[in-house]
Amino acid sequence: MKRLTLFLLSGFLLVAGLTADAGMERSDTKESLRGLNGVYVAVQIIDEQPEGITTNSVETLVKSALADATIPVNASPKKFNGDANLSVTVDTIKQPQLDAYVFMVEVVVTQDVRLARDPHAPWTSAETWRRSLQGITSPDRTDVIQQALKQTLNRFIADYRAVNPRPAN
C-alpha cells in the first residue's frame, strides 16, 4: 500500500510540476539568452542531501552537459557578458512517513538588465529564464532527481540553442 501511495503521489507531483512549469512559461524568455556567450555556473543543494547527490556531482553533470552543447562556462561571472549566471538548485526534503524524498530541481539564468523605459537607469541583476520540476522518489531511486535535473538542463540548452545556433566547424 505504501508503494502504491508513493507511486500515485510521485506521478501527481511530477505532472503538477510540469503543468505549473508550462503554465508559467513565457514565449519570450528564451530571447533573453540571445547573444549570451557563456554562463557562470552556481550550484546549491538545499535541505537534505540524498546519497549520490552532491554539489560536486551536480556541478560536474551541469558543466559536462553545457560542454557537450558547446555552451561556454565561465570560471567567474563576466561583466562584458552581463554577469550571466546559471543557478542550479536541488531542494530535497525527506518524508520519513513515506520513506521518500520530495524534491524540486530548478535552473535559473540571472543577468544584468536595464529598464527599457528608462535608458539612464543603472544596470541591475534580474532573473530572465527559469524552469523547474518537482517530484517525489524513494531513497534508493535518487536517479529520478538526476533525471529531472537533466530534463530541466536540456530545456535550457534547447532554448539557448534556439537563439544561439552552434558555431559552424
At 72 the pLDDT is 94
Q: Give the range among 19-23, 27-31, 92-96 with minimum mean pLDDT.
A: 19-23
Residue 76 placed within a domain: yes
| pLDDT band, residue 31 (cuts 50/70/90) | very high
pLDDT of residue 28: 65
Query: What is the DSSP secondary structure assignment for residue 61, as one 8-state letter?
Result: H
Per residue in 42-77, pLDDT tens? 999 998 888 889 999 999 999 999 999 999 999 988
Q: Tell me, what's the pLDDT at 152?
A: 97
> Is 119 among the domain residues?
no
Cβ–Cβ under 8 Å, residues 139 and 100? yes
The 3-state DSSP class for residue 146 equals helix
Residue 25 has pLDDT above 60, yes or no: no
Residue 92: per-residue pLDDT: 95
Note the pLDDT of residue 111. Answer: 94
Kindly indicate the confidence band of residue 23, based on its pLDDT and cuts at 50, 70 and 90. very low
Q: Is residue 26 part of a domain?
A: yes
pTM score: 0.80
How many whole angstroms separate alpha carbon 137 and alpha carbon 122?
44
Confidence at residue 169, expressed as pLDDT on a 0 to 100 scale = 66
Contact (Cβ atoms closer than 8 angstroms) between residue 47 and residue 91:
yes
| Residue 124 · residue 149 · CB < 8 Å | no
Structural domain total, the chain: 1
Of 155, 133, 157, the C-alpha closest to 145 is: 133
Is 168 inside a domain boundary? no
Question: Does the residue 92 lie in any domain?
Answer: yes
Distances, alpha carbon 117 to alpha carbons 113, 121, 123, in Å: 12, 9, 13
pLDDT of residue 84: 92
pLDDT at 78 over 90: no
Q: d(Cα 5, Cα 14) in Å, to the nearest integer?
A: 14
Q: Which domain, by its residues, includes 53? A: 2-113+124-163
pLDDT tens digit string along 97-117? Answer: 989 999 999 999 999 888 888
Which phi and psi (to 5°) does residue 20 adopt?
-65, -40
Q: Looking at the domain assignment, is residue 169 inside a domain?
A: no
Q: Please report whether residue 13 resides in a domain.
A: yes
Would residue 151 count as lying in a domain? yes
From 5-19, 32-46, 94-108, the region with the lowest mean pLDDT: 5-19
